[in-house]
Amino acid sequence: MSLKKIFHELLELRDDMGKKSRRAERKHTRRRAKSHIAPEQSLSSLPSPELVQQSQWANLPPELLLDIIQRLEASETSWPARRDVVACASVCRSWREITKEIVKTPEQCGWLTFPISLKQPGPRDAPIQCFIKRERETSTYRLYLGLSPALSGDMSKLLLAARKIRRATSTGFVISLVADEFSRASNTYVGKLRSNFLGSKFTIYDSQPPQNPAIQTNCRSHRRINSKQVSPRVPAGCFSVASVSYELNILRTRGPRRMQCTMQSIPITAVQEGGFAPTPTELSTCLNQKCSPLSTSQGKKPLANLGSSSTTLDLEHGMKDPLILKNKSPRWHEQLQCWCLNFKGRVTVASVKNFQLVASAEPCQNVSLAEQEKVILQFGKIGKDIFTMDYRYPLSAFQAFAICLSSFDTKPACE
């Protein structure tokens, strides 16, 4: 039996099992949150592991199964064909474990496969090219994998989505895996971005704690309790992992914005020779873990503040030497009479939002000049409400998207 025929039978089996599981779920009236194995696919539509574990595919020899998934993973290197690799991980537990062992991180292979890939560092050699579509009516921003909408068309892969929320004293962005669910009580919630009153500083919050144990040990945890309704459990976690600051332009001088990003979850050693960035292996939130009660263990009392119902973790004092990114200084073009940067054809429209970020290091930090000249993140406009976003190691897609979202907010004091 050919590999293609085996895989088609596998998909038919998955669809049959999915129908059975959906019939069983209709009998329950309890509301369940959505859970995703891939950004575009819900686990609720997949067969339960108990049903599939009894099928003939669950009893395949491990050597044969390993060879099948290895061939499939090597042949499907782009979306939407790469969803076949995700389908293998949804068959049963044994298939899932083998698929997770075969699929490499974006840093190693340059491909995005599972949702956890969005929080893992990008490749070192070449950037991952994406684009962002802005919808002014709904204040939403969608991140797609691909060169541009004109080249990708309907085959574009949705990676992340964000919704802008305006408040009296600040502006926030809620980031999700899907484009129609932005509740922080959902399993699709991955993080948020929040500004100060002037819009000159933004804080990036992750839904899961950082991977560096040293950071988690030294961080200060703040638990906030809503003054109107005190709940015994906290619905979602927010861990401060980075901050974006824009330099104030009080004199209103002409020129591009000046920005600086402090990545508290990434050490400066990540861009040194032989260094590495923290790489999470599981996409976990407070929803799929047991939420801690208000009283902590070891007899320690949490710090309670009024006004919010989220758990936040401050990383500003958690890392001694965090990675600092600064925007690359443009040059003045005499003939065009404008500030210019070399985006290598990826940006075609002049905009104050356009930027390139490079590593900023002191001489004592042993970061080579070539590494400091390497563009880690670039963002720019190519059409009406269409922007490109290219990122690479040590940033992840989530971190890069959050930094780019800060450029969309109005900054009267910085322009």
Kindly state whether residues 249 and 376 are assigned to the same domain. Answer: yes
Kindly state whether residues 66 and 178 are assigned to the same domain. Answer: no
Kindly state whether residues 153 and 88 are assigned to the same domain. Answer: no
Q: Find where tokens 């600064």 sit.
A: 326
Kindly state whether residues 171 and 243 are assigned to the same domain. Answer: yes
Kindly state whether residues 68 and 147 are assigned to the same domain. Answer: no
Does 10 fall in a domain? Answer: no
Question: What is the C-alpha to C-alpha distance for residues 220 and 209, in angstroms, rounded to an integer?
Answer: 12
pLDDT digits (tens, 9 = 90+) for 105-132: 999 999 999 999 999 999 999 999 999 9
Kindly state whether residues 337 and 377 are assigned to the same domain. Answer: yes
Question: What is the C-alpha to C-alpha distance for residues 398 and 160, in angstroms, rounded to an integer?
Answer: 8
Q: Which two tokens stand for residue 257?
A: 């914005």
Kindly state whether residues 257 and 368 are assigned to the same domain. Answer: yes
187: DSSP letter: T
Q: Find where tokens 């004092």 sit.
A: 317
Look at residue 45 and give its three-state secondary structure. helix
Bond into 80 cis (ω within 30) = yes
In this predicted structure, what is the pLDDT of residue 27?
45
Does 338 fall in a domain? Answer: yes
Burial 341-362 (b: 16+ CB within 10 A, else e): bebeebbeeeeebbbbbbbbbe
Q: Find where tokens 């619905």 sit.
A: 235
Question: What is the C-alpha to C-alpha distance for residues 312 and 310, in angstroms, rounded to an integer?
Answer: 6
Does 38 fall in a domain? Answer: no
Kindly state whether residues 211 and 86 are assigned to the same domain. Answer: no
Does 413 fall in a domain? Answer: no
- Count the neighbouring beta carbons within 10 Å of the beta carbon of residue 104: 14
- For residue 372, what are the domain limits? 128-219+236-273+320-407
In terms of Cα–Cα distance, which of 119, 6, 106 is closest to 56? 6
Question: What is the C-alpha to C-alpha distance for residues 399 and 205, in angstroms, rounded to an integer?
Answer: 9
Kindly state whether residues 94 and 176 are assigned to the same domain. Answer: no
Does 204 fall in a domain? Answer: yes
In this predicted structure, what is the pLDDT of residue 189?
94
pLDDT digits (tens, 9 = 90+) for 159-214: 999 999 998 888 999 999 999 999 888 889 999 999 998 888 999 999 988 766 44
Question: What is the C-alpha to C-alpha distance for residues 18 and 16, in angstroms, rounded to an integer?
Answer: 5
Kindly state whether residues 146 and 91 are assigned to the same domain. Answer: no
- Give the chain's length: 415
Kindly state whether residues 81 and 148 are assigned to the same domain. Answer: no
Beta bridge partners of 224: 305
- Whether the Cβ atoms of residue 200 and residue 411 lie closer than 8 Å to each other: yes
Q: Which two tokens stand for residue 21?
A: 């599981």
Does 27 fall in a domain? Answer: no
Name the domain count of the chain.
2
Strands (E), 268-376: 304-306, 311-314, 322-327, 331-333, 338-340, 355-360
Which residues, other chains included, contact 82 with Cβ-Cβ below 8 Å and sequence gap of 6+?
Answer: 76, 111, 113
In this predicted structure, what is the pLDDT of residue 175?
96
* CATH of residue 354: 3.20.90.10
Dihedral sign (CA 382, 384, 386, 390) = positive
Q: Find where tokens 């539509």 sit.
A: 45
- Count the neighbouring beta carbons within 10 Å of the beta carbon of residue 236: 19
In this predicted structure, what is the pLDDT of residue 335?
81
Does 353 fall in a domain? Answer: yes
In terms of Cα–Cα distance, which of 322, 317, 330 is closest to 375? 330
Does 68 fall in a domain? Answer: yes
Question: What is the C-alpha to C-alpha distance for residues 72 and 306, in angstroms, rounded to an integer?
Answer: 52
Flag residues of the chain having pLDDT under 50: 24-45, 51-53, 213-235, 286-318
Kindly state whether residues 96 and 136 are assigned to the same domain. Answer: no
